[in-house]
Amino acid sequence: MIGESLRRVEDSRLITGRGRYVDDIVMDGLMHAVFVRSHEAHAVVDSIHFEPPEGSRARLLVAADLGTEHPMPVQNPSPIIQQPITQAPLSDHEVCYVGQPIAVVVAPTVAEALDALDDVLVDYEPLPAVIDHRTALNSDAPPVHLDLESNRVASIHTGFGDATAVLETADNVLRLEFDQHRGAVGSLEGRGVLARWDAADDRLAIWTSSQSPHAVRDMVAGYVGLSTDDVRVTTPDVGGGFGPKAVVHPEEIVVAALAMHLETPVKWVERRREHFVATIQQRGQTGRVEVAYDDEGHLLAIRAGLSHDMGAYAPYGVVVPFTTMRLMSGPYVVPNLSVTIDCVFTNATPTGAIRGAGRPNAVFILERAMDAMAQELGIDRAEVRSRNFIPSDRFPYSLEIKASDGNLLTYDGGDYEHAMRAAIAAADLDAFEQRRATVSEHGQLLGYGIASYVEDTGLGPYDGARIEILPSGEVVVETGVSSQGQGHATVFAQICAHHLGVDGDAITVRSGDTDRYAHGVSTVASRTGQTVTAAVAAASTELADTVRRMAAARLEAAPEDIILTGGVAMVVGQPGTEIPLSDLAASAQPKAGGSSPEGSTSGGLSVERIHRYGGSAFTFGTHIAEVEVDPETGHISVTRYVVVHDCGTLLNPMIVDGQIDGGVAHGIGNALSERVNYDEMGQPLTTTFMDYRLMSAGEMPQLIKVHTETPSPTNPLGAKGAGEGGTIPAAAAVVSAIEHALGMSAGSITHYPVSSAWVHDSLRKLTMAAT
């Protein structure tokens, strides 16, 4: 059953409208919250006035009313962060970006609360703002926060060898300037929080659209002064996460404080315009990269000096730029490396992890450099990669770089050359020139791009699972992770059914509830497929062994002669010996004065197991994009797209394919259209989907997907993460293809997104230069 493309068990309920999201939850006495948000990028709040009309049931509360004046903790603290500045849940003194919460209005209905916003008047004293992170460290740059002497959050560095010395003496050196612009996220469901205070039990219940229920529990409890045992956090259905919902946002604390203060349930659901200014954003990374190589195209050294836009605060720490830095050598042998990233504050929405979390930045830089090297040397783009890939016989391959767990970064295994050759074959590049000639007859330009990558999937320190067979025969799987559409319930049930010999319909998966499973780590970093699944497999295996022992004792047989199939235990080859698992589960829960059955080791028929993190499992692959460009308008169409992807053991190929489809759509959008714009005063210009364009189904090419399987030794299933590989190399592949279609020198386009207007203008300039 493991490895089969079983249909998702979640989908029937969701597509028939029986899903239950935060906004679907209604309870007696519910009050609705809306936030008063800063209209200024940087200002001091002089005063807040609220004069509702007679009869209004709305109330305005500020930080002093709720005790939310002090800053939230950094969620990923590190000693290298020089200024770990985070925001207070309500900032009624200094505001540092448009959209920052200042106060909150509550009313019995959403309409009343929204109407009351018009009655709130905030007096500001505007201050100078920094929007461009490239100028944030200039001597004349104003401080992003009033009390700052520098806008530097941290300066991080890694490397090995002596890149500087090699660059000074190398015969071939590339110098490229990169601009990877700030982007947002477009999950189907925005954020939402509902909290209820039970005064009788002194207990707080929170329902939140989050990737990190345990992190929400821990931070909210600490902030409002409760024990974690007195806070229950549940994630109902979540309509997409992609990284920003892994962060504990100010609204989760404020709604919890409101519920306690008012002693009534309170709900807040984010509106789309809010989502564009108040939810964690991504990217924003620029800088110079120098690459030394020999006459045969072998990499000698890479040196990078980059600037990373953190936005106004650092709630997520420096995880994202650190990830960029850590993967700057990619799938290649790089003898000398030096990477420095200045992480800087700006008066813009804070940034953090969004699908890929810094990895696309590193891949874009490397793959653009590989294309430029190929052109300088007059060799094929695939060939220059082939000459630099880490050979398959050198794994495990360690770098002199520390991973997130403090150990050396070690690639566990793979065959990068094979993956690239498989992509070239699937893309039918032998017939590319013929296709190019055909579209040329219609006045169109055609090009292809190639990008290879590695991704460190998985994140420690552990994950666990508890599995129980109930006297009813139902099997319950409980874990700490929260699902946002990845198909967790399907895969966990699939693994459990494989070991216990039961139908998937008999298995219930419960997750995302801190009361049901008290410990858990976020659903981030493509980690669930290798950590939680390993825990489910271990618990299922042990529970199956217990069932065999119990059945063997009753049937007077050896445990190894017991098979589990169709919800029963039986002696192999002996029909009529079947014992339903429900009977064994009932016997494992004896009445008072009874005795535990032989073969059982605990009360009830259940097992809990923890999988300890064993290091990153490195997924890898190659993408090839083919694009058609209309020279009259600059319009870009992605017409063919090939993905060769290795995520180790394929637990459910259909679900992996779905993850790749979504990931590639995300990556193509990053390449072509997803860009957050601000004016010089810090006012956001992209606050709707008319301004911030996502890829639509009609614009997506049909994807050709090829899987290779290199099982990872880091977990017993050999699995690797699969959720982000579709996104990570996509921008590099698409931009390479655009450049090829336009006939520009390789490495000429070092920014994204690449708009149709930019293409049209570039073609005009090329035509003028030619004449």
pLDDT at 322: 93
pLDDT band for 405, please (50, 70, 90 cuts): confident
Helix (H, G, I), strand (E, B) or coil at 392: helix
The domains of the chain are located at 11-127+186-278, 363-457+618-770, 462-612
CATH code for residues 363-457+618-770: 3.30.365.10
Give the pLDDT confidence score for residue 219 in this predicted structure: 97
Answer whether residue 699 shows pLDDT above 80: yes
Residue 81 DSSP code: -
| pLDDT at res. 593 | 52
User: What pLDDT does 342 receive?
Assistant: 97
**123-172 tens-digit pLDDT:** 999 999 999 999 999 999 999 999 899 999 999 999 999 999 999 999 99
Q: What ranges make up the beta strands (E) of 216-354? A: 231-234, 266-269, 285-293, 299-309, 337-344
Give dist(CA 467, CA 498) in Å, integer: 13
Domain 11-127+186-278 has CATH 3.30.565.10: no
What mean pLDDT, rounded, does the chain reach? 94
514-562, pLDDT tens digit by residue?
A: 999 998 888 888 888 889 999 999 999 999 999 999 999 999 999 999 9
Query: Residue 350: is the preceding peptide bond cis (ω within 30°)?
Result: no
Please identify, in words, the CATH class of the domain defined by 462-612: alpha beta
Split at pLDDT 50, 70, 90, the class of 771 is confident
| Strand-by-strand arrangement of the 152-160 sheet | 152-160, 337-344, 299-309, 285-293, 172-180, 751-752
* Structure confidence at residue 597 as a pLDDT band (50, 70, 90): low
**Tokens 């320190």 — which residue?**
461
Asked whether this chain's domains 363-457+618-770 and 462-612 adopt the same fold, the reply is: yes
- Res. 430: pLDDT tops 60: yes
Give the whole-angstrom CA distance, residue 564 versus residue 544. Answer: 8
CA distances (Å), origin 572, targets 483, 496, 503, 568, 762: 38, 21, 19, 12, 72
339 and 321 Cβ atoms separated by less than 8 Å: no
pLDDT at site 766: 81
The runs of H, that is alpha helices, within 380-487 are: 381-386, 416-427, 432-440
635, 462 Cβ separation under 8 angstroms: no
Position 442 pLDDT exceeds 80: yes
Residue given tokens 């989907």 in the structure block: 689
pLDDT number for residue 1: 79
| pLDDT tens per residue across span 633-687 | 999 999 999 999 999 999 999 999 999 999 999 999 999 999 999 999 999 999 9
